[in-house]
Chains A and B, each alone.
Chain A
Amino acid sequence: MKPIRSPEDLERLRKEILAKREPSKPCITVCVSTGCVAQGSIKLVEAFKAELEKQGLTDRVEVKETGCVGFCEQGPRVTIYPQEIYYFKVKPEDVPEIVSKTVLKNEIVERLLYKDPITGKTAQILEEIPFYKYQLRLLLENNAKINPKNIEDYIAIGGYSALAKALFKMTPEQIIEEVKKSNLRGRGGGGFPTGIKWETTRNAPGEPKYVIVNCDQGDPGAFMDRTVMEGNPHSVLEGLIIGAYAIGAHRGFVYVREEYPIAAENISIAIEQAEEYGLLGGNILGSGFSFNVEVYRGAGAFVSGESSALMTAIEGKVGEPRPKYIHTAVKGLWDKPSCLNNTKTWATIPLIILKGAEWFRNIGTKGSSGTMIFSLVGKVNNTGLVEVPMGITLRDLIFKIGGGIRGGKKFKAVQTGGPSGGFIPEQYLDTPVDFDELTKLGSMMGSGGMIVMDEDACMVDMARYFIDFLLDESCGKCVPCREGLRAMSKILNDICEGKGKDGDIEKIEDLAEVMKEASLCALGRTAVNPVLTSLKYFRNEWEEHIKEKKCQAKACKALINYYIDPEKCQACMLCLRECPAGAVIGGKDQVHWIDQKKCVKCGTCYELCRFGAVVKLTGEPIPPPPMGVKPIRKKK
């Protein structure tokens, strides 16, 4: 392959690629993103290849490994083109049937289609699935179509034409103007206007300048950066090159979290290929502009997702944040002006350049334009990644797209924004989701994690979870964060263990005040959000824990006991056999009971019992064991 040296060459190449392809040729795409790989999709690819070979179809049917479409819970996902039929939960055993029926005879294998658990209706195309119906997938849409390891796939769908347009038809100033007009705000959390950030770096004195992709996403419960990077790395790269040109940078960095090996691999391959095609390196597309990119892997530190800490990590040092009197946009990597944006932000740029700021601004809300990718997870029926226009209400997200709460339970709260965000209770479900609205509720958008909780989640325990998480992750450099978190953790752990005292809540509020004001970086300053929102919306739960030693969600181990309801126990002996502590007493035809002294509260019996006989008790005495041996009534 000769490097492409002009926009015309690029167009020519695109036509060549398209001419080589037959749109009517059957193609089986299998998702090999992490979620599906975890559910066995690698074996599935092999099975497809073997089956095609067996049937002598290798030349007639293509097998393609692609990225994630968001509905990972239903994985492994397979799509058959040209009909574009989506199959979910596909196993290697299904392969021969898919090939001989769907691929060869155009028949549908009903059982592999998505079936709505409520209506029982199956869906053939994506848009019929409620999970997808209300989405607007600008960034994720192509994931099912392209092999992320093949640059020609990306070029075929129009990739790198935004770059050509930017380099040849626009000046750097015009690009920045366009991004500013689009009102794109950083997708990493803070929501800072991207165009202004770019401009600051461009105008900052000092050379060289750097651009950086943040694919660290340490937020637990959020995985959109990983998905974008794994499924469509060229879109990120294209955005980055455009940004570099606009800002005047000639060197860029992609920082990928250690836990995301496939993302690191795919972006590395993308960089190599882009270099080979003349889209990266010296004299890009013959424009005279040169730019190089390197991949840096993280080594596991949440705090390194913060921009100044991330830059220190790239310098090869301990990734601690530093005071930001001067923004990293002015003095960042090696003290040079550096522009760091989130993975999704960079991936959005080519769309804005191609379709224009006007188009982009018309999507979403006035303050927050465009779409946002959320990771909708936790106790919701349809979990996965959803991309929606900003401004959709939480209720629509959770109930229409998410299909409501699992197991018919009650919604309790949704946690947004990761450890810097907060809990949002039921009464605010109709809030439209955008940067500003969530902040008003004391939470934040963050990078888009949405963890749905039902009545089984204890809000005190959840607050404790986030504090302990941050305590573990705090770099320890500044006192308010380090000591504040330690003190909070102590109090919260006491409360959850039934050792809470009067005045604990007030003490926590005091600590929060100081931490919010005096911490060095966002980790410490926002650490109190989960605690404060939990307190604000669920204060009664805190008081119950402290005063009545009761956990209404039955989640705090120290405050619950497992108990077998003698009326319901069928003496099946399942729990007796599996209890690791030997705490279950009973026998054939005998009602079982739990020896509380021996029970380690592991919950195995609770999970196993098919008759719902094992229950959790809190804040009440445990009924005494049934006296003597009592034969059990068996249902006829």
Chain B
Amino acid sequence: MEALRYAEAIKQIRQRGQAIKLIVQELRDVDAIVDKHKSDRSRLIQILLDVQKKYGWLPKLALIWISERLNVSMAQIYSIATFYKAFSLIPRGRHTIRVCMGTSCKVRGAPELLNNLQRILGIEPGQTTPDGKFTLTTVNCLGCCAISPVLTIDGEYYGHLKLTDVKKILAKYN
């Protein structure tokens, strides 16, 4: 009995060790990004973009570290992180769907498409499905209006969309 508790405790300590290792690794990654931008404060947005790209969102720990390294206040970092659309302060799903709501896409049926997606996924733009699979977002133009309506999943483009294509495309992801 005693031995079991002992083993359990060891396991927990190891897990914490693991967690710390992960955190250290994460901070090293953030360090590398900050170094890449030569700790230049004017490149704060560029640094955040790289972090966002690496993790899919902006983990708080990373932000604290950046604030330390660049000597900028957390308030400034948060004001940027909340102003620009590219950033997310909460983890995103495994796949990010971006539906174009630009004018060309709009006149060719993007609103109906978005509606359909919302219904199928059961979430609104900005939200993530409960199983953590998809995050649904909208964007104002993806710059390929000639093949509208358009959406991207994890950066892959789907153009000339019809309402009924949505289900098939979603099925490709797991």
Contacts and interface: CB of A to CB of B under 8 A. Distances in A.
A526 interface: no
A71 B147 CA distance: 10
A222 B142 CA distance: 9
A50 B143 CA distance: 30
Contact of A378 (B43, B49, B107): B107
A275 interface: no
Interface string A594-607: 00000010111001
| The 6 residue pairs across chains A and B that have the minimum distance between CB atoms | A220-B102, A38-B157, A300-B85, A299-B84, A221-B103, A377-B104
B145 A300 contact: no
B33 interface: no
A316 B103 contact: no
B87 interface: yes
A296 interface: yes
Interface in A369-417: 375, 377-379, 383-385, 415
Interface stretch (B1-9, B24-32, B159-167): B159-167
Contacts of B48: 299
A343 B45 CA distance: 22
Size category of the B interface is: 35 or more
A384 B146 contact: yes
A510 interface: no
A38 B98 CA distance: 14
Interface string A408-452: 000000010010000000000000000000000000000001010
A301 B148 contact: no
Contact of B144 (A72, A316, A473, A580): A72
A593 interface: no
Nearest to B47: A316
Nearest to A605: B163
A377 B45 CA distance: 32
Contacts of A590: none
A451 B79 CA distance: 34
Nearest to A73: B146
Contacts of B150: 38
Given A223-B146, A473-B140, 15 more contacts: A34-B144, A220-B105, A221-B102, A301-B83, A313-B45, A316-B44, A318-B80, A378-B103, A378-B108, A451-B104, A465-B103, A580-B116, A580-B120, A602-B112, A603-B163
Interface of A: 34-35, 37-39, 71-73, 75, 217-223, 226-227, 257-261, 296-302, 313-319, 375, 377-379, 383-385, 415, 418, 449, 451, 453, 456-457, 462, 465-466, 469, 473, 475, 578, 580, 600, 602-604, 607-608
B12 interface: no
Contacts, number: 165
Contact of B143 (A223, A384, A602): A223
Contacts of B79: 318
Contacts of B101: 220, 469
Interface string B70-88: 0000001001100111110
Contacts of A465: 103, 106
Contacts of A297: 45-46, 49
Interface of B: 41-46, 48-49, 76, 79-80, 83-87, 100-108, 112, 115-116, 119-120, 139-148, 150, 155, 157-159, 162-164
Nearest to B157: A38
Contact of B162 (A72, A226, A473, A607): A607
B144 A223 contact: yes
A301 B85 contact: yes
Contacts of A315: 42
Contacts of B143: 34, 217, 223, 226-227, 257, 259-260
A132 to B, nearest CB: 14
A317 to B, nearest CB: 7
Contact of B147 (A35, A314, A385, A578): A35
Given A258-B49, A301-B85, A607 B164 contact: yes
B46 to A, nearest CB: 6
